[in-house]
Structure 1
Amino acid sequence: LIQNGRLLTLPLVAGDLHSLLPDEDRRRLYVAMKDNLLSTSLDDITQNPRKLYWPASPDRVQECLMAGKDPELECANFLRVLQPFNQTHLYVCGTGAFNPRCAFIATSVFHQSEHQTLSYSQTECGKGKCPYDPFQKTASSIVDGELYAGITSDFMSRDSAFFRSLGSRHVIRTEQYDSTWLQDAQFVRVAPLSETDNPEDDKVYVFFTERAQEAEGAAGKVLYSRVARVCKNDIGGQRSLVNKWSTFQKARMVCSVPGPDGLQTHFDQLQDIFILHGKDKKNPLIYGLFTTSSDILNGSAVCVYRMEDVVRAFKGNFLHKEGPQYKWAEFTGKVPYPRPGTCPSSTYGSYSSTREYPDDVIFFSRTHPLLQENVLPLGERPLLVRVGAHYKFSKLLVDRVEAVDGTYDVLFIGTDSGLVLKAIHLPREHGQSQEVTLEQLQVFQ
């Protein structure tokens, strides 16, 4: 970790380190790993951490081994969800040797002794909250006491889904086994974002990469990066989409550079998202970290998006496919009212719930989740590009710094080779940007 400009190392045995959760109030850092949840001091991370040992149950480990899974890399409890639930508890989920389990964990447990153990009886079913397979990318966020999670929700990792669970409302998810909604999705980030001052209009956004139906054909499988959103007050439909999202929509996020022949080189594999809130809370900057999906070109890029451009894409036209032999095209028919994707609100008078929406609105939402307009980055090109390097970008953190001559965004970019890049984002006129790399730091070999 980089702290006050110094490189500090957690005293851990090398292994599966999945996520970090800082707690500024208590000055603690929680670390989710294989079979362990750790707590260490934010002020001195070199101290030995306190451990909560949470293994998979022996019965499940045996079943996992009998299914032909790897004893070290799969048949254990890999912690994949680590979220603050309230002032006193964390909500944590693990793969449980292909039997996902979750638990509310009191932060006070780490004060009792340096080593604690969580038993199976203290946990609950984690299906729809955590993947079975530790190699599947997942993203989650707790919003108003409810868990929003993008996961693969079955043993075979075929059912990509976006869920809402916990809380008093019924579990709700994306349509199952419908490739128009999600196809082999790899989830990256879930975030609540408010576009207006009306809380009834609040939405939760999810960023991911998936196989793009609209691009498949002679080229075979094509990957696109996406941003999707749902209304927080969505409770599904009355006769169709029962306990399924009725406001789910998605758009493509483009991060590309033009080549000498005019063709775009796309960075289509989304690796990380960092949302930077400024003075205008309704219009944050969204930093996206991308890599190429091609084996021929090894490249990475950072693109920056404005929230208002994301919202504009969701107000645009829908894509439509008439049948199996047809190509995807702009929908030119009549869009029902209220417009699919609209949150139920007092603004619309007679519709206080998604279950009250007319059948044609729900049907359209089920058959037309994809928007036509792409979300383009600032300046319509990446802020930073690396091609042909011995590494690929993997993680991103952005810090806004006040200087004498203005405000700058400082980027810390992690790579798969252990190198950390420090770069600065210099805004220019007419929406253009410039990147200057300040430092390269080799964190591990």
Structure 2
Amino acid sequence: STQHSKPPRLLDPGLERTRASERAGIRVPKFQVESIIAGATQLTSGAPFADGPDAALWADVKAKAERLVSAGTLPRAEADALLAEARAAILALKPAYGRVIDWAVASLPTAPSGRVGAGSLPGGAAYYANELKLNTTTDLTAEQIHQIGLKEVARIEAEQDALAKKAGLADRKAFYAQRAQLFPDRPFDDAARAAYLKEANRFVGHVRTLLGPWFGTLPAYGIEVVREPAFSEVPGGAAHASAPSPDGKRPARTYVHLVGTQKDPAALYTLMCHEAVPGHNMQGDIQVRQKGGPKFRAVTGYVAFGEGWGLYAERMCAEMNAFPDIAADFMRLDAELFRAARLVVDTGLHAKGWSEEEAVKYLNETGRAPPEMARSEVRRYITLPGQATGYKIGMLKIMEECAKAQKALGDKFDIKGFHDLLIASGSQPLSIMERRVDDWIAKRKE
């Protein structure tokens, strides 16, 4: 077709914007330039660009065509014609990616590194303030968020110390040391994978039986924990949730990466509360069944509300006594500690002039992220200013609204009604959630 007969122009406008930014003094950090070179080179290496194994994009197109032919839904002649067209389109990518590589190679020697947060750029402080507003859907400043992060880190560490003492140990460090001794690093094998999925699905089913006193609106469809597909499974990959189909024929799913080194088994429970029930899978189940109201409400998402709910769901599991032992609750706090440390690191990088190394050190030592993960996370925060703040700020705001409603209503407070108000109406900015809670309180007082 004609759209495939001309080289694509999608990349060129991006390059032009980048050059315009450079003229204004806004440079791409060195690690990003290196990543662009590696990614663009990999995308355009191999067949059909040159001899050798198929490039990932070409291999994917060929595999999909073969599946359609094997299933009898696409005649071979039609598949061959489509493949020829796709091959021409893929080949047309090479010059455009070549221009990206040329820019990146020229930019690399002088690309900035070290202190590369938003605050180091012209207009960076105002830009970061806006990103915080977008990601938290509040008016909190960078300094306020930084202080909230430090305060939360101290609170969580104290709670961990208390749990460690309850388990007969001196403090949180002793608890971590004991867990490391009990569960040394070991790779996943088939038996471990099967055991993980069995326990995860059992636990999700168990938590569903505990929801009655806490929610009026309950999940209606199936929820299953499954292994991440092989093509996208990576060691240490983040678990993620998908909503069910509106008719429930496709269940809600939580995908987990089961390759590389196994984690402490006690960490499984918090992850399932966050991703499955009463977290994202339950959110998705209720959201796709919404009747009435604008359609966009069923499909839009706000990081602070959605991920704030995920963290709130972890805490709810503790309140519902869903966790099997102290270790599971301790690992809930471990996950929360990492989220609190992110508040400190994101604002440190973009508003306080922290270097990449300072941020990695804090996230590793205080947030307890392994070195490689800490580096990867920090580079994500540099690339997406403010995004990492939404999770914890969202959770704290939900808890704040719950406490406000309890105080205002006393005996008239109904936790099921409060949770339904939040989860049954889809994702929303925190400022809107606050107004809706105020309206709900006023109605309950009547």
| Interval of TM-score (by shorter of Structure 1 and Structure 2) | under 0.3
Q: Higher helix share goes to which structure? A: 2
Q: TM-score, normalised by structure 2?
A: 0.26
- By relative contact order (CA 8 Å, sep 6+), the higher-ranking structure is 2
Q: TM-score, normalised by structure 1?
A: 0.26
Report the structure number with the largest CA radius of gyration.
Answer: 2
